[in-house]
Amino acid sequence: MFDVLQYSFIQNAFIASFFVAIIAAIVGYFLLIRGLTFAGHALSHIGFAGAAGAVLLGVDPVVGLLVFTIIAGIGIGMLGRVLKERDVTIGIFLTLALALGILFLFLYKGYAEQAYSILFGTILGISALNVIITALFSIVTFGILLFLFRPLLFSSFDPEVAEARGVPIKVLSVLFLVLVAITVSMSVQVVGVLLIFTLLVGPAATSMRLVKNPYLAIGVAIILGILYSWVGIFIAAQTNLPVSFFIATLSFGTYLFVRLVEPSVYRIQKYNA
């Protein structure tokens, strides 16, 4: 049963998903507490338009995905100041990107297999070079998140007080959305555009229901993200079914279980108290 672990493409998948799961869990936690889940969802679809454009130009789809998501992230961060305004801005960027994606696919005369693979993820087909690139992007992103962690946490929980204390709220917002864009670009290799929320939101949402401390919540989210990815890859290698399906199912099942059990635990604790 464990013979599949000897294959290099399986090992590449495990290594790449390890790095992606860590960054996605951290970014996902901040997405939730900052109320930016719609932005994460939109950036993944905007990235698909970039992938389609890259295929049209004959370059790697991930390059186009990265360029489009970063530009959109900067635009959303600069134009969306309040929640209502931000959602409108995200919607405008999303509709434009989808229109461009349709145009790019229409103009491309061949079969855009590379662009379509972005929709569902290609973790079992990831190359050693892509693993190295994913690892480098992850390390750089992690370093930036570590540097911005305290002001980002402060501004996420209490933006008014943070701004009064001199924290550059707008700059932080733009930088964070750029990091989201990079994370989305890395994560699509694992779960694809259609299931990007699996790694961005699932582990963080579950961990936040288990623990309240931000540091512990992020730690639990990282562990859950890695477990979902590794177990999903292992089962997919045994069954020849899509990896993203198993990762998404594990994420949903765990979150649902925690949601159902949590009220009972709370009642027991309240009764014992």
pLDDT tens digits along 45-60: 888 888 888 888 888 7
Q: Give the amino acid at 114.
A: Q
Please tell me the predicted confidence (pLDDT) of residue 217: 93
- Calculate ∠ Cα 263-264-267, nearest 5°: 85
Q: What is the CA radius of gyration of the chain?
A: 19
Please state whether the predicted TM-score (pTM) of the whole model is above 0.85. Answer: no
Please tell me the predicted confidence (pLDDT) of residue 266: 43
pLDDT of 164 over the 90 cut? no
pLDDT of 9 over the 90 cut? no
pLDDT 10s digits, 165-180? 888 888 888 888 888 8
pLDDT of 69 over the 70 cut? yes
pLDDT of 137 over the 80 cut? yes
Segment 142-161 shows an average pLDDT of 87
Share of residues in the chain with pLDDT > 70 (%): 84
- CA-CA distance, 267 to 217, in Å (whole number)? 22
- DSSP track, 249-270: HHHHHHHHHHHHHHHHHHHHHH
Range of weakest confidence among 1-10, 62-71, 158-167, 169-178:
1-10
Q: In this structure, are residues 207 and 220 in contact, taking their beta carbons and an 8 Å threshold?
A: yes
Q: Does domain 2-194 have CATH number 1.10.3470.10?
A: yes
Q: In this structure, are residues 258 and 210 in contact, taking their beta carbons and an 8 Å threshold?
A: yes
Please tell me the predicted confidence (pLDDT) of residue 113: 62
Range of weakest confidence among 82-91, 139-148, 170-179, 241-250:
82-91
State the number of CA atoms in the 13 A half-sphere of 203 facing the CB: 29
Of 74-88, 236-250, 252-266, which one has max mean pLDDT?
236-250
* Domain ranges, ordered by start, for the chain: 2-194
| Ramachandran bin of 147, using left for φ above 0, alpha for ψ from -120 to 50, beta for the remaining angles | alpha
